[in-house]
Structure 1
């Protein structure tokens, strides 16, 4: 993997994870519920009894949130780069949906293992999480495509 590809994956990760997170924060505000993944991750880290400050746990939660996004985009890249899936809106929705199901399953497992039961509407949380991942998939595909175009231009030394 060259530096251009890594940069492409990183930019798609930042854009997609940020868009997904903004969606979750907007839904949280609209429904007056706690659907904010980084906040819930902070609470889960608190359950692990790690001997660091709450601020450090919050920072770790944000880093973990974006790292998970990076893993998803890395998988998307593998699928697109190897022509397993075409880079398209429909496939972005498909990947987002699959990621949503994986995300929901992951959260269910984390809540169960940590024995942490936040006072939230779980059904509502999982529904918004599913749609948040569809947004993630769409934004990841869009930024992947845009950066791919820029990279191809940069590699061909074409001036605009």
Structure 2
């Protein structure tokens, strides 16, 4: 993987994870429920009795959230670069749906393994999480494509 691909993945990750998180925060506020992944991760880290300050746990939760987003975008990159899937709205929707299912399964496992039972509407949380991942994948595909286009234009020495 060259520096351009890594930069493309990082930009897509930041944009997609930020869009997904914004969606979760808006839905959380709209329904007056705790659907905020970084906050739930902070509580989960507290449940694991990790010896860190609350502020450090919150920072770690945000970093974990973006790192997981990075892993998803790396997988998307692999699928797109190897022509397993085309870079398209349809593939982004498909990847978002699959990512949503993986995200829901991941949270279900985390809640069970840690005995962490937040007082949330689980069905509502999982539904919003599914749609948040579709938004994630659509934004990841968009930014991945935009950065790719910018690199192509820059490398072709075209002036605008």
TM above 0.5, yes or no, is: yes
1:115-134 correspondence to structure 2 within 5 Å: 115-134=115-134
1:4-153 correspondence to structure 2 within 5 Å: 4-153=4-153
Please, what TM-score do these two structures have when normalized by structure 2?
0.99
Query: Aligned to 1:79, what secondary structure does the other structure show?
Result: helix
Query: Aligned to 1:11, what secondary structure does the other structure show?
Result: helix
Unpaired segments of 5 or more residues in structure 1?
none
User: 1 CA distance for matches of 2:8 and 2:26?
Assistant: 27
Unpaired segments of 5 or more residues in structure 2?
none
Structure 1 runs (4+) deviating above 3 angstroms are none
User: 1 CA distance for matches of 2:62 and 2:35?
Assistant: 14
User: 1 CA distance for matches of 2:154 and 2:9?
Assistant: 16
Instruction: Provide the alpha-carbon RMSD of the alignment.
Output: 0.6
